[in-house]
């Protein structure tokens, strides 16, 4: 090969190399990796329709907000979609009235063998900073000595009625009403069916 042809070949090879390098610089890099994603944030479902802050008093007994164990052979989920409404009020003599309420809820068929209604006998947030707010909110712990069983309902039921007497002044016997599901494996956590409000400055 003569000198002219050799120089031409060198120039062509150099031009090809420049083209390859230029193409690599002009295209953005492609990554096979994806950006790491942090844990998803979820909002826990409210245990009842009772509004209010989630401040809790010092720990005691009977959690209302810990996640339950559930499954075919496990503890049942807590009752859901709970409603609580007054359905009747009648005079009971000596300045009192008998008030009747209906409570309804949902639960998977066959998950519970019974449901228990429990009254909370004291307003657990009776402090000035909670005045006008619910006596009981989601996540609070309830002392056992403040729990009073009202009634037990068969596991195939999804509604019940309960009554108590109230005077012309002053609160009724309960500051809140709770419901829980039970089966042979144990009890669910409580769902708040109803809560009275804190009346810090009230004197009865």
Q: Which CATH class is domain 80-195?
A: mainly beta
Domain boundaries, the chain: 80-195
The radius of gyration computed from the CA coordinates of the chain, to the nearest angstrom, equals 33
Could you give the CA distance from residue 174 to residue 127 in angstroms, rounded to a whole number?
A: 17
Tokens at 78, concatenated: 């807590």
Cite the DSSP H helix spans in 62-162.
none
Q: Are 106 and 80 in contact (CB under 8 A)?
A: yes
pLDDT for 203 equals 79
Could you give the CA distance from residue 177 to residue 166 in angstroms, rounded to a whole number?
A: 15
pLDDT for 11 equals 53
What is the Cα 61 distance to its own chain's centre? 19
Q: The pTM is what?
A: 0.66
Q: pLDDT 10s per residue in the chain (204 long)? A: 554 544 445 454 444 443 433 444 433 332 222 222 222 222 333 333 333 333 444 333 444 544 334 444 599 999 999 999 999 999 998 889 999 999 999 999 999 999 999 999 999 999 999 999 999 999 999 999 999 999 999 999 999 999 999 988 888 999 999 999 999 999 999 999 999 999 998 877
């Amino acid at each position: 090969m003569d000198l002219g042809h050799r120089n031409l070949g060198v120039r062509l090879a150099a031009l090809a190399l420049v083209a390859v390098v230029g193409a690599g610089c002009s295209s953005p890099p492609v990554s096979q990796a994806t950006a790491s994603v942090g844990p998803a944030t979820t909002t826990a479902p409210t245990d009842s329709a009772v509004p209010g802050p989630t401040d809790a008093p010092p720990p005691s007994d009977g959690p209302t907000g810990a996640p339950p164990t559930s499954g075919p052979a496990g503890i049942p989920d807590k009752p859901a979609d709970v409603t609580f409404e007054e359905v009747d009020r009648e005079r009971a003599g000596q300045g009192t009235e008998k008030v009747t309420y209906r409570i309804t809820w949902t639960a998977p068929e066959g998950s519970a063998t019974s449901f228990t209604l429990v009254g909370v006998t004291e307003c657990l947030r009776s402090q000035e900073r909670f005045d006008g707010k619910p006596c009981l909110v989601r996540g609070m712990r309830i002392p056992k000595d403040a729990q009073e069983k009202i009634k037990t309902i068969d596991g195939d039921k999804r509604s019940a009625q309960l009554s108590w007497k109230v005077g012309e002044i002053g609160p009724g016997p309960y500051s809140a009403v709770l419901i829980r599901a039970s089966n042979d494996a144990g009890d669910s956590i409580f769902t708040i069916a109803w809560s009275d409000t804190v009346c810090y400055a009230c004197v009865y």
